[in-house]
Amino acid sequence: MAMKEQQRQVYRTARGKQVDMNKLINQNELTIAVGNAKVNARGDKLGANGEVIKTREEILKERDASLNQPIVPNQINVRTSEKDVSNMDPEGKE
């Protein structure tokens, strides 16, 4: 299946200049993000000197794998059968 072509996002500033947002995003794709997130604009995890530790694709694969795992309950019911209530006292005494 063919990928959908992205629309060009060209905006006009107050001074009349045109800004192509897709071009701007692609130019700054490897720039380190501002703040304490330690990622670049693509979403790659970065190390101390700005080298890529994990790519965005690896991070997404790990997240998808963890989301597809079955949920294990915290408590497991060890009773194999229900109580027989036919001979029980109406007040709950056994």
Task: Return the pLDDT at 85.
Answer: 66
The pLDDT averaged over each successive group of 10 residues in the chain (94 residues) is 65 94 88 87 88 93 86 67 69 65
Task: Return the pLDDT at 78.
Answer: 65
d(CA 68, CA 11): 40
Q: What is the pTM of this model?
A: 0.50
CB contact set of 71 (below 8 Å; sequence gap of 6+): none
**CA end-to-end span of the chain, whole Å?**
67
Task: Return the pLDDT at 34.
Answer: 84
List, in sequence order, every residue forming a beta bridge with 57; answer none if it has no partner: none
Task: Return the pLDDT at 67.
Answer: 85
